[in-house]
Amino acid sequence: MEKVSEFLVNNYIWFLVGVIVLVFALIGYLVDAKNKKMLASGEIIPRKEKKVKSKEDLTKESVSEMEDMPIGDAMKPKNKKKEETKEEPKEVPKTEANVTYDEPIIKEETPSEDSFEVDEK
């Protein structure tokens, strides 16, 4: 009995790690089982995954689009953005945040008789 308790004391970290892994596996199993029950009862609607086109399919489509085009037009990049319309800039209403002042907020004063100036050398 003494050897068993000594073995447990020396290797308690490994037992602790094993218990933590088993607890996480149990939690994962319970969540998965609950989700399967909810899917079967219709409480959860499964997500549809988007079909991703392969590079070959995209290349075939783009080549078939360009068959009747002249080379110059086929080489130009496609503008996916709509053509920008030139709009005149709108007048911004004047508020305190965007008003410019003619006079500075901090005015420089001439030195008084009591103050002194430091000469830069």
Backbone phi and psi for residue 56, each to the nearest 5 degrees, phi listed first? -65, -45
Whether the Cβ atoms of residue 35 and residue 44 lie closer than 8 Å to each other: yes
Q: Tell whether the model's pLDDT for residue 76 goes beyond 70.
A: yes
Report pLDDT for 19.
96
* Residue 68 lies inside a defined structural domain of this protein: no
pLDDT digits (tens, 9 = 90+) for 3-62: 999 998 999 999 999 999 999 999 999 999 888 888 777 777 767 777 777 777 777 767
* Residue 89 lies inside a defined structural domain of this protein: no
* Residue 87 lies inside a defined structural domain of this protein: no
Q: Tell whether the model's pLDDT for residue 121 goes beyond 60.
A: no
Report pLDDT for 98.
64
Domain count, the chain: 1
* Residue 78 lies inside a defined structural domain of this protein: no
* Residue 110 lies inside a defined structural domain of this protein: no
pLDDT digits (tens, 9 = 90+) for 79-105: 655 555 666 767 766 666 666 667 767
* Residue 62 lies inside a defined structural domain of this protein: no
* Residue 117 lies inside a defined structural domain of this protein: no
Angle at 23 between CA 33 and CA 35, to 5 degrees: 15
Reported pTM: 0.35
* Residue 31 lies inside a defined structural domain of this protein: yes
Report pLDDT for 116.
67
Q: Which domain holds residue 33?
A: 1-45
